[in-house]
Structure 1
Amino acid sequence: MPDAAPASLDTVALLHRLAELAGHERHTQVEFLLHLDVFDQRRAWAEAGYPSLWEWCVRALHLSEGAAGRRIAAMRVLRRFPGLAEPLRDGRLSLSTAAVLSPVLTEGNWEELVGRAAYKTKVETEQLVASLQPRPAPREGLRRLPRPEKAPATLAKPIEAGCVEVDGAGERAPALRPEATSVEPLTLEGSAAQACPRELHAAQSAPARRATLEPVDADTYSLRVTVDAELKKDLDQLKSLLAHKVRNGDLGALLREAVKCALEKHGKRRGAVEPSRKRNITAPAENAPPPTPGEREPIPAAVRREVWKRDGGRCAWCSPDGRRCGSTWMLELDHIEPVALGGRSTVDNLRLCCRSHNSLHAEHVFGRERMDRFRKGADRSAPPTAASGSTSGACGTRAQAAGST
């Protein structure tokens, strides 16, 4: 029979029903983690066309980023200590507290620590872990903080030391001052400062702990990052070198120039950028005599560029139902017919794959057990050309040495 409507229950019945539902939720949650563990160990997320388990949880299950991260972390703790299933079911541990306990759990102490952490909050569990695994306290010292008084109308309030705000268009960004030190605040000038009150308020209340890139409007982003003294020195030097091109020392323009140079350098190496000068580099002829199986055949830059252009700079792996991975992270050139089996370094026999799917392809060809042995470095006696179908280290350096393409 259907459940009674919540509004029809009295307070006592509602309390009991909520406790009952919470228990069902925890039980279902543990079952989810157990199934997720098997799913991950089979690397089924790669078969489904996703570059990682986290990506699958977010894209396929529509979990939020935080929810996916908590479940994956708890699943990995549960994998190490299956006995945690019951504490998770009865509420002694939550997903968050299980993950917090993970660094200090051992086969000999996990039951004791579960008892000590039972029904504690995440903060209380962090305190327990800190008592078991103390961390060094920060050194005492003084550092300059933003001034509390109001800034002139033309200047925004100072930003915490080492933190800079840069817009995505490379305009209205703070100029680097050569005389500034690693502990002197950098200020954001002009209208961009007024457009980002939230970032400025956060910068004044606490130092930035991690880089953030947040949209300010449709075409502008606020970049906030903490830099060390060495990078600050390099930025000052870049400002001097580009003084004739970037006359006002605009930080956004300096970063744009640095990023363009990096893209030019690394893009050419990976085949993502056309060279400024054309060279007479030809791809291996389709009718050329095939190399000895397993013999590494150089991949010309022209071929790399053609493959990159054809695949759009994204992983070309497709799942059985036709879903393309499309990841841009850790891309590698993969030989569809592996070099170890006589595959050629031609455009038609190459594709872009993320590292997860390059590795999966090798498992499909040579078997997962064999590839696992190479990843762990256990099969050192195998011939160097017999074990992998990957190109740019999809299975790690050991797999490359064991026969990657």
Structure 2
Amino acid sequence: MNLKFLSEIELDERIKTLAQRERHLLHEVLLTIKEIDSRKTYLELGFGSLFDYLVKGIGYSEGSAQRRIDATRLIREIPAVADKIQSGELKFNQISLVQRAAREILKNQSVKVTAEQKLQVFEDLCGKSHSESQFKVAAFFELPVVQSAQQKVQADESVRVEFTLSKEAFEKIKYAQELLSHAVTTQDLGQFLAYLSEKVIRQKTGFKNQNRKSSTSDGISTATVAARKTPALKNVKQLRHQQQCCQYIDPDTGRRCESKWLPQVDHKQSRWAGGNHQLENLQILCAGHNRLKYRKENGVKYSS
């Protein structure tokens, strides 16, 4: 079809029809993602998380993947919102704002936002722009309005970061700087955050940050090296040097997971089956594939 020959009215009718089809297809996409999430099929395919699967396996951008995950899990919690998404009444960015706020409240206040509260705030977001929705969500949950952080890689490969802190968060950082003024004599925030990062890495992994490209994604939990019931520290250090990501391989495609999220030391032959702590019997698995291996060994399936 040559669109140049369509009249203004025909073009208007065509785009409305296509938009409706697009929303219907989106509805089917979300339901499919919901089933994939419930059954954890992405683990069998060699991906450490649903997010990795949608980005690396399906080809979504990181933002698109996260918005679809937020929408999918909201539908599971509140099935009624599926119709609002399909009609276009509820937008992905609004869903992500509410879901992100709910996660923040649960993390910082140990309070779970109820389905009724989410439905209430969604009613107030209809027809609102993204910036208006940000203020509405922040006001409803009594949270500070936090703008998205901006990052820019500079010529020397340093990264310039611009972000907004609430008054309370900034006061906490300044107080922390005062408490650690003996260790970090400068008031430069970047150097202070670098010091804290190094300190956390040492506490959580037992290793120093020796010019790694990523100092936060490939640390191994101290739980993997605790006491005599776990591999010797020298073996863990050598394993970490050899394997810096998840080693799970999909038996059908041969694809290696390579996720660096929550890496854990695993015994190829489990301890209960006679496996030892020798380096040859150790491997790095992400948390998702470590759980998958355990479930397979114990005959436990994910429920659909």
User: What TM-score does the superposition give when structure 1 sets the normalisation length?
Assistant: 0.55
| Paired position in structure 2 for 1:144 | none
Corresponding residue for residue 75 of structure 2: 78
Relative distance call for 1:367 and 1:117 in structure 2 (3 A) is farther
Change (3 A) 1:345 1:129: same
Q: Give distance in 2, aligned partners of 1:219 and 1:118.
A: 40
Which residue in 2 is equivalent to 1:289? none
Which residue in 2 is equivalent to 1:317? 248
Q: How much does 1:231 deviate?
A: 3.5
Q: Which has the higher helix share?
A: 2
Matched to 1:120, the amino acid is: G
Q: CA RMSD in A?
A: 4.0
Q: Which residue of 1 aligns with 2:281?
A: 349
Cα distance, 1:325 vs. partner? 1.8
Task: Write the deviation string for residues 219-238 of structure 1: whole angstroms up to 9, x where unpaired.
Answer: 22114464644543443565
Provide closer, same or farther for how the CA distance between residues 343 and 97 of structure 1 changes in structure 2, counting only shifts above 3 A. same
Which amino acid letter does the alignment assign opposite residue 42 of structure 1?
R
Residue deviations 1:231-252 (CA, integer Å, cap 9, x gap) = 4344356554466xxxx87665
Q: Kindly tell me: are residues 76 and 265 of structure 1, through their superposed partners in 2, closer, same or farther at Cα, counting changes over 3 Å?
A: closer
Q: Is the 8 A contact 1:96 1:122 kept in 2?
A: no
Write the distance in 1 (CA, Å) between the matches of 2:124 and 2:177: 47
2: distance between equivalents of 1:87 and 1:367?
Answer: 39
Shift of 1:208: 6.7
More deviation, 61-70/221-230: 221-230
Equivalent-residue separation in structure 2 for 1:56 and 1:93 (angstroms): 25
Give me the whole-angstrom Cα distance separating, in 2, the residues matched to 1:41 and 1:253.
42
Alignment of 1:120-269 (within 5 A): 120-121=127-128, 126=133, 134-136=140-142, 209=147, 212-224=150-162, 226=165, 228-236=170-178, 238-241=180-183, 256=194, 259-260=197-198, 262-268=200-206
| Pair 1:89–1:210, CA change in 2 (3 A) | closer
**Are the structure 2 counterparts of residues 231 and 348 from structure 1 closer, same or farther at C-alpha, using a change threshold of 3 Å?**
same
Q: Deviations over 1:187-238 (max 9, x none)?
A: xxxxxxxxxxxxxxxxxxxx97565543122422114464644543443565
Whole-angstrom distance in 2 between the partners of 1:260 and 1:137: 30
Equivalent position SS for 2:159? strand
Structure 2 Cα separation of the partners of residues 20 and 219 of structure 1: 47
- The one-letter amino acid of 1:299's match is P
Count of equivalent residues? 268
Instruction: Determine which structure has greater relative contact order: mean sequence separation of CA pairs < 8 Å that are 6+ residues apart, divided by chain length.
Output: 2
Amino acid at match of 2:258: G
Counterpart for residue 158 of structure 1: none
8 Å CA contact 1:297, 1:344 repeated in 2: no
CA contact under 8 A between 1:57 and 1:63: conserved in structure 2?
yes
Deviations 1:232-273 (A, max 9, x none): 344356554466xxxx8766556555545554554436x988
The aligned counterpart of 1:21 is 18
Q: Is the Cα contact below 8 Å between 1:101 and 1:125 reproduced in 2? A: no
| Alignment equivalent of 2:54, drawn from 41, 54, 57 | 57
CA distance in 2, matches of 1:14, 1:338: 63
Runs of 5+ unmatched residues, structure 1? 139-206, 274-295, 373-405
Equivalent position SS for 1:333? strand
Structure 2 equivalent of residue 397 of structure 1: none
Unaligned runs of 5+ in 2: 100-112, 211-227
How far the C-alpha of 1:47 sits from its partner, in A, is: 1.9
Identity over the aligned pairs, expressed in percent?
Answer: 23
Q: If the length of structure 2 is used for normalisation, what is the TM-score? A: 0.71
Give the conservation status (yes or no) of the 8 Å contact 2:43–2:288. yes
Matched, 1:329 2:271: no
The change in CA–CA distance for 1:297 and 1:29 in structure 2 (over 3 A counts) is same
